[in-house]
Amino acid sequence: MNAKLTILGCRSGAPSTGAAASGYLIQIDNRTILMDCGPGVVLALSQQNFVPALDAVIISHRHADHCADLLALAYQRRFPEIQPPLPLFGPPDLAIVLDGLDALFGMPSLSSLARPLHDTYAFHPITPGESFACAGQQVHTCAAQHPVPTLTIRWPDVGLVYTADTALTPTITAFASKANLLLAEATYLTPDGHDLHGHGHLTAAQSGELAQRAQVAHLVLTHLADAANAIASYEQASRCFKGPITIATAGMVLPLERH
């Protein structure tokens, strides 16, 4: 099996310091799946000529830093040439985003872009906790602790777990058990002034705690609120997790192995 993870974007909120918001490319054998599509991700995709190569898209939840570039991707795939529709998987309320963007940005004067999202994506709603088949792979999910329905995602064949946005919960810990690679959000450096459970985010130390409790092989920290905290985030996580830790950066490629 030839498999790898490419970090297209790793910022929370918005693109900054040369990196897009959340976006990750999963390539397994000859299939290519985009996981989250935040602002700036489509530029990163196009720079590597991945837009026409996509086989499917998975969106963890409907917050803008994880899905706003679905509109840009639709434009890319509908103009100037129309490309085949893409399977799109995400929580059921992602339909609100698709319908809303079409209503706001559809171009009735141009048939190919009259309903760009409706025509680009074949949407498959996934209730957190469901498993589904995507581009030849079985994908498992569990419910993240976040203000909107959010998928924490596991790729069992390659042992990859993506937390998406979530607080630390026993459910997430069990779901990540023995992962080869845990791609974990580490939004905040400290809990000070943050409602971590209500807003549904992790500190770097909690990401390390999650990795240690789940006995994962490799922890990759992503979704930092401030890229300047990268070294401090690494240090905080390493106090809890004794295995290898990597800070995600745009363009980074990580090999995936059969679990």
Sign of CA dihedral 52, 94, 164, 201: positive
Number of domains in the chain: 1
Q: Are strands 132-134 and 151-155 parallel, antiparallel or unpaired?
A: unpaired
pLDDT at 197: 86
In a domain, 259, yes or no: no
Per-residue model confidence as pLDDT tens digits over 183-222: 999 999 999 888 888 999 999 999 999 999 999 999 999 9
Averaged pLDDT score across all residues of the chain: 96
Mean pLDDT, range 23-37, rounded to an integer: 97
Per-residue model confidence as pLDDT tens digits over 48-66: 889 989 999 999 999 999 9
pLDDT at 192: 87
In a domain, 223, yes or no: yes
Q: What is the pTM of this model?
A: 0.97
- Alpha carbon of residue 24 to chain centroid: 6
pLDDT higher than threshold 90 for residue 67: yes
d(CA 214, CA 233): 19
Mean pLDDT, range 118-124, rounded to an integer: 98
In a domain, 113, yes or no: yes
At 242, phi and psi to the nearest 5? Answer: -100, 0
Domain with 19 in it: 3-254
pLDDT at 48: 86
Residue the block writes with tokens 């790729």: 155
The answer for residues whose C-beta is within 8 angstroms of residue 56's C-beta and 6 or more apart is 31, 33, 34, 86, 87, 88, 89, 134, 135
In a domain, 166, yes or no: yes
In 3-state terms, what secondary structure has residue 151?
strand
pLDDT at 17: 87
Q: Which of 59, 61, 57, 62 is nearest to 77 (CA)?
A: 57
pLDDT at 259: 72
In a domain, 242, yes or no: yes
- Domain of 207: which CATH number? 3.60.15.10
Per-residue model confidence as pLDDT tens digits over 133-189: 999 999 999 999 999 999 999 999 999 999 999 999 999 999 999 999 999 999 999
